[in-house]
Structure 1
Amino acid sequence: MRKPRDKRSWSEYEQVSSLKFRERFVTEVSGFGDVRVALIYPNSYEVGSASLSTHVLLRKLNELGSVRAERFFYNKDFLKYYSFDSLTPLDEFKIWAFSVHFELDLMNVFDILNKFSVPLRKEERNEFHPVIIAGGAMTYFNDNLLTEVADVVHRGDLSEEFLDGLSAVDHWMHRKEIIASLETEHVTPFFSDVLGESVFISPDSVFGDRYLIEVGRGCFRKCRFCVAGHRYGRPRFRKSDEVFDLMDSVADFTNRFGLVAATVTDYPGIDEVAEHCIEKGYELSVSSLRLDSVSDTLMKSLRLSNQSIFTIAPEGGSQRMRDAFAKGISRGDILSALELGRKHGFRRVKMYYIYGAVFERREDRQEIAEMALQASSMGYTSVVLSLNPLIPKPGTPFEEMPMESLSGLRKYEKEIRSELLVEGVKLDFESLKESQVQFALANIDKSHSRELLAHVERGVDPTPILKKYAEEVNSKRKEWKKHGKEEYSGC
């Protein structure tokens, strides 16, 4: 391993060392094989360490025996990129495996490759370049850009076929031989029934030092705007007894647990797990709550876990919008959830809303403000609204829908803000420019993928190009705007 030789490299080395030092491993996963695989999560350490994909990949790949897999996370200021497991520089690894879960993370993938002078387009690489693998949530609904960049795209959940291919790789193999061994026959996403849990915990994770347990994958709700219910496979759940065993097995290590699923309250054993946590004195948190299935037992467990805020997602401001989104919840459900929160002593609530659908009306947005004021009147001293513009995604019923223009969204944001100049109510709007870029990347096709890469390779800021593409997509969908509103608006 090469030690840092300059001040900037030492600073980067020490930053990684500091984060690594604060980690605690629940399971020993050290790999001793000759095939070195860099597991790269192209987002911050805080986000990547909270993703169970990082934990599952680290454990499963190192179990192969012949592989030594180590973690890397994105930082725009990094140049060397040191491993979080051995502090080895990234360029000493022959295989780079990117786990891409968010559209904007694609920009971070490009940045890492550019910093190491690795051609973005796979056909331009030679024998001395690393093998680039791509997987993650992006492969479930649009991998057009990834297939231009990655030598191998693994679609969907981690498969035994891919693991078998990796176990057949030897460190002396040429680049083309490695790629041939890793390519699978899956052209559609693979779905696994194997769910994940934490390998390590870190106070620097977005979930804090909690042991995470994936209790479910997939979703049967089929909300029209959401990829999870349409592309992540049938719902599959972990048995509640297995959750109890996992918790109890690490109780000497930590008593703080987080449950992960598309919608945790859809997990059939949620009340049993919450009751188990109450009985054992475990602290519990959940990744998501569906407000029409929140129970007394769960809320009691969350409150006993010293949580001061709970989160619900009405999504649509009005009943008309919630029906159009196929949320299956009513105003009464929202009020019942808020009342349950107050019953258990919560004084802070966060509510997620989607606004700016092309069939939305002003009165739909006004009801967002009305619900926030209603929550305040019920005794909540802090009401946080997280407001995100609707971004139509491939693979959903909204995939042919245009995204509202930036000018329109800015107008709507101003409207909502003017309605809620109230103490105790905080508005958190997602960046509209980033939302437009996300829309472009989510819907990008093959030809525009190549055009984008050509510009990025020349060091050109991709934002204007993606903005232009987003506008082009919307222009092609203008007929939907004229004739498609009735189908989705429920009017």
Structure 2
Amino acid sequence: MRWEIKKKLQQLRDSELPLIQIKEYGSALVNFALVFPNTYNIGMTNLGFHSIYREVNKRKDSLCHRAFFFGKGFKPYTIEAQKEISSYDIIGFSISYEMDYINILEVLKESNIPLLARDRDFPLVMAGGPAVTFNPEPLSLFFDFFVIGEGEEVIHEIMEVLENNKGAKKNDILEMLSQIEGVYVPLLYQKDRGRVKKRYLRNLNDFFTETAVFTENNEFKDMFLIEISRGCGRNCRFCMAGYCYRVPRIRDLEIVLKRAEFAKKFTDKVGLVGAAVSDYPDIERLSRELMKRNIKFSVSSLRADSLVSPLLEGLSFSNHKTLTVAPEAGSERLRKIINKGIGEEDIYKAAEGAFKFGIKNLKLYYMVGIPTEKDSDIDEMIVFLKNLKYFMINIGNKTGELTVSINPFIPKPFTPFQWFGMEKENILEERIKRIKSTLKPSGIKVINESPRLSVIQASLARGDRESGNLILKAHQRGGKTSDFKNIDINGKDIYFYAYRNLDLYEELPWDIINMGFDEELLKREYKKALKGESTSPCTKEKCKLCMICEK
């Protein structure tokens, strides 16, 4: 082991406070290496990663250790044992982001593990997480099996198969795993078996989805993370989380408060995690109770139309200096098309409400390249942002910063916008440049995601099994994002996958997945988008009557 990696691993281990029992390597029947294919700081902010780590280590006959991507040329070792991941019985990757796909191949290569699933025996290599739930096909060449959906329950069924069949042949184990609902084995998949049904938790209260190892070496520093809700019923047509994590569920208030009290033993601040924290039904009481108990808090996401005074007061109490909301689209017309459900007035009210509680800075998230977007939509966005800056000054907020974050729209599987192609890179560059140059004189800061990288992300999100060879070729050429350019497989390159419009009735690569809702839903929402028609949010009452989602 290179000394700098050994030193780094030891420093990270020394800075950690495990909140669960850590088992020694080899002390259990099945040894599981859980890998996050990005940096330690990013991986340790991922609650899905924490959750699987907790669940495997709860088992008597299994243990779980963690590994991360430390950069090209660095062999991955586990934090707990400083062992090569190839020495474990099974390797599991937690995958949230398409741009990490290339890192996965680097991890396998540096571990001397054959890249292609068909070329290796043991250890087994599996994957789970949001990215592979909505489309595992671009990675199907490299993995023995995938978890489709939420992993807290199904991981126990997987580990039971491994514990009861240690020493069995690989194909026999894969055959047994393929019988588990929510497990997809690419090498054994046959259409006549039916689609792979997504797993989801019916009751969040049955599991702790929270920080399992406390460390300040993460993106949120000294925060203890607690999931308070999962899924979203707002029906935004571009949003993968809103469709892949149906039905929307919440964690009971008393359980959230109990876990926040537990967190006080280690820190004075908790992070509340959910698709739309301000939509949590008991957000007012939760905010008041956390303040009453002297627990500061942060939130993962807010909606401008569901901000309430106790929440804003709580954020101010917690020393928040910036309110972050996402209008997403630059014009009222586009917000109707994406079914965002908020208007300019909601943003004005949010800015004014935040300022009343001393939160002066405002950050807004937008997308460019939304289907049917025109120059006039960008014009409307620019006018609104200038007016918003003047509004902030006129209410007395003369020192507050207005920051705009712009991300290219990326069509995702299992959303009503999956059939739209991505906007061309040069047009995105041009629109972003115009927004920046026009808003800069008004003192508005604009930051943006790279359109070039977004094209790669879109191509991987919408890829098929054949596109896995694009990832393999890019890896073989060096593994940089620039290596995706000027390569193709049978005439198909990243632009083919990113830009093309899909036919409403063609077979899609991800059709092998049963996401748990009526197949016609997405088509209906696609057609409503083109008409600018809205869809009302899902509510508890509406959910009892609606037959779209499988209960």
1:50 maps to 45
> Match of 2:403, SS?
strand
2:432 maps to 413
Contact 1:257 1:283 in 2 (8 A): yes
- State whether structure 2 residue 86 is matched by structure 1 residue 91: yes
Instruction: Give the AA of the match of 1:59.
Output: R
Matches within 5 A, 1:115-154: 115-125=110-120, 127=121, 129-154=122-147
Contact 1:162 1:182 in 2 (8 A): no
What whole-Å deviation, never above 9, does each CA across 1:284-329 have from its counterpart, x for those lacking one?
A: 1000001100111001111111111121101111111111110011
Contact 2:455 2:494 in 1 (8 A): yes
2:451 maps to 432
What whole-Å deviation, never above 9, does each CA across 1:172-207 have from its counterpart, x for those lacking one?
A: 445445434544243121011335111122212112
User: 2:503, 2:438 → 1: CA distance?
Assistant: 33
Matches within 5 A, 1:352-391: 352-377=365-390, 378=392, 379=397, 381-391=400-410
Contact 2:229 2:250 in 1 (8 A): yes
- State whether structure 2 residue 240 is matched by structure 1 residue 231: no
TM-score, length basis structure 1? 0.91
The offset of 1:485, in angstroms, is 9.8
User: 1:157, 1:267 → 2: CA distance?
Assistant: 20
1:340 maps to 353
Q: Greater shift after overlay, 350-359 or 289-298?
A: 350-359
The offset of 1:21, in angstroms, is 1.7
User: 2:475, 2:162 → 1: CA distance?
Assistant: 32
Contact 1:139 1:189 in 2 (8 A): no
2:3 maps to 10
**Match among 101, 107, 112 for residue 106 of structure 1:** 101
User: 2:130, 2:432 → 1: CA distance?
Assistant: 29
> Match of 1:421, SS?
helix
- State whether structure 2 residue 312 is matched by structure 1 residue 292: no
Contact 1:359 1:489 in 2 (8 A): no
Contact 1:22 1:203 in 2 (8 A): yes
- Sort the Cα spacing of 1:382 and 1:412 in 2 relative to 1 into closer, same or farther, 3 A: same
- Sort the Cα spacing of 1:382 and 1:455 in 2 relative to 1 into closer, same or farther, 3 A: closer
Contact 2:226 2:270 in 1 (8 A): yes
1:472 maps to 496
What whole-Å deviation, never above 9, does each CA across 1:42-85 have from its counterpart, x for those lacking one?
A: 11111110001111111100111111210111121452222122
- Sort the Cα spacing of 1:487 and 1:466 in 2 relative to 1 into closer, same or farther, 3 A: farther
Contact 2:361 2:400 in 1 (8 A): yes
Q: Greater shift after overlay, 28-37 or 41-50?
A: 28-37
Matches within 5 A, 1:61-100: 61-77=56-72, 79-100=74-95
User: 1:95, 1:341 → 2: CA distance?
Assistant: 48
* Larger RCO: 1 or 2 (CA < 8 Å, sep 6+): 2
> Match of 1:262, SS?
coil
Moved over 6 A (4+): none
**Match among 433, 444, 462 for residue 463 of structure 2:** 444
Q: Identity rate of aligned residues, in percent?
A: 30
Q: Greater shift after overlay, 375-384 or 177-186?
A: 177-186
> Match of 1:388, SS?
strand
Instruction: Give the AA of the match of 1:465.
Output: I
1:41 maps to 36
Instruction: Give the AA of the match of 1:326.
Output: N
User: 2:131, 2:278 → 1: CA distance?
Assistant: 25
The offset of 1:33, in angstroms, is 1.1
- Sort the Cα spacing of 1:331 and 1:18 in 2 relative to 1 into closer, same or farther, 3 A: same
> Match of 1:385, SS?
strand
> Match of 1:50, SS?
coil
Matches within 5 A, 1:153-302: 153-158=146-151, 160-170=153-163, 172-183=167-178, 184-186=180-182, 187-192=196-201, 193-194=203-204, 196-302=209-315
**Match among 462, 468, 473 for residue 484 of structure 2:** 462
> Match of 2:324, SS?
strand
Contact 1:36 1:93 in 2 (8 A): yes
What whole-Å deviation, never above 9, does each CA across 1:397-438 have from its counterpart, x for those lacking one?
A: 111111110111111011101211136422111011110000
Q: Greater shift after overlay, 84-93 or 455-464?
A: 455-464
User: 2:168, 2:61 → 1: CA distance?
Assistant: 13
Q: Provide the aligned length of Structure 1 versus Structure 2.
A: 479
The offset of 1:441, in angstroms, is 0.3
The offset of 1:119, in angstroms, is 2.6
- Sort the Cα spacing of 1:166 and 1:365 in 2 relative to 1 into closer, same or farther, 3 A: same
5+ residue gaps, structure 2, are 183-195, 505-525, 534-551
Contact 2:405 2:447 in 1 (8 A): yes
Contact 2:470 2:493 in 1 (8 A): no
The offset of 1:471, in angstroms, is 2.5
User: 1:172, 1:148 → 2: CA distance?
Assistant: 24
The offset of 1:381, in angstroms, is 2.5
Instruction: Give the AA of the match of 1:188.
Output: K
TM-score, length basis structure 2? 0.82
Contact 1:40 1:71 in 2 (8 A): yes
Instruction: Give the AA of the match of 1:25.
Output: P
1:395 maps to 414
- Sort the Cα spacing of 1:29 and 1:60 in 2 relative to 1 into closer, same or farther, 3 A: farther
> Match of 2:162, SS?
coil
User: 1:454, 1:77 → 2: CA distance?
Assistant: 16
Contact 2:50 2:213 in 1 (8 A): yes
- State whether structure 2 residue 19 is matched by structure 1 residue 26: yes
The offset of 1:137, in angstroms, is 0.5
Contact 1:223 1:229 in 2 (8 A): yes
